[in-house]
Structure 1
């Protein structure tokens, strides 16, 4: 799973407000793209609808939208009724192009969380929103989290809690965005 979070009012990780992200962090968008490129992405209906139309579907990735609405249409994406169906559809995906992309990244930079090439290829990435993240926590084996140094007291969508079953294998180096926000990329794996 992959997400970016700031600090919510009650200590929970804030991931959204009013159907969007309450920050501007172009470095995180680039990180998200390079990490998920070539792999299927699984998202809920609200996440799909929050993407600007010009980015729907997310290019270079098979897009799966999870919704209980059997009549829902998401042009350019595959609509599925459940997380389980999405995972089953992506389990056998051939990831040669994705693995080649990750290998190129590994050859271009050092092996850190900043470098998705150092990570094992995933069958698919869960990309939101909050409800889908919580449902997927028991089956996920990796979390890529961007920690943003920002308070969002009026957030309305939150990341799932990361419990003791997870190990922080890369805390990421502190960085500063060209927008002035502090952030870091973390990588967690299931113990």
Structure 2
């Protein structure tokens, strides 16, 4: 393998950093298989450390919005996600006063979450983390979607939202083909922007 090939296999630190600086407004961020699977049984059916690093760098310093099930899918030791205001949407009465909710700002709706996000540090950019129902509610109001495609045939029970004709692909890393994780998994980062946004 020559040095050029080696470079194309590495996770692109600069790509994520530049992307994080260029985004304002409401963003969606998720990882999916090429068939659109984003989860199974409340978890991700893959392990991709490079994507977790990308996600952390992208969302650091900004509020993140998620549903209760997505919040609970993070191991307890990582809740709340550090360096970010964690806003959790749930219809469960009094859940906010339970030990499970410790560290979260708990609200009842996406509208409430978006309002809350404007009064916390980094609120000029808000990241929506899912799950499926929250993505479905927010895809029509988001300005950008940062999607990691994973070359996997893993099956699942939760799927990514469909980005319709009003969205366009604005960047890919790598521009063609795939990056390869240290564990051998192939993946690529993509950026989609709402036309006119």
* TM-score range relative to shorter protein: 0.7 to 0.9
The structure that has the greater radius of gyration is 2
Unaligned runs of 5+ in 2: 1-27
Q: What residue number does 2:46 align with?
A: 23
Query: Hey, what's the Cα distance between the residues in 1 that align with 2:76 and 2:121?
Result: 27
The counterpart of 2:181, out of the listed 177, 186, 189, is 177
Q: Is 1:7 matched with 2:20?
A: no
TM-score by length of 1: 0.81
Write out per-residue CA displacement over residues 56-110 of structure 1, whole angstroms, 9 at most, x where no aligned residue: 0000000000001121121001000000000011124443xxxxxxxxxxxxxxx
Q: Unaligned stretches of 5+ in structure 1?
A: 96-120
Tell me the equivalent position of 1:117. none
How far did 1:172 drift?
2.0
Partners in 2 of 1:131 and 1:151 — Cα distance?
23
RMSD (Å), alpha carbons: 1.3
Runs of 4+ in 1 over 6 A off after TM superposition: none
1:36 matched to 2:67: no
- CA shift in 2, pair 1:80/1:32, >3 Å: same
C-alpha offsets along residues 113-150 of structure 1, whole Å, 9 cap, x if unaligned? xxxxxxxx852100110110111001100000000000
**Change over 3 Å in CA distance of 1:122–1:164 after alignment to 2:** farther
SS of aligned partner of 1:4: strand
Q: Which residue of 1 aligns with 2:88?
A: 65
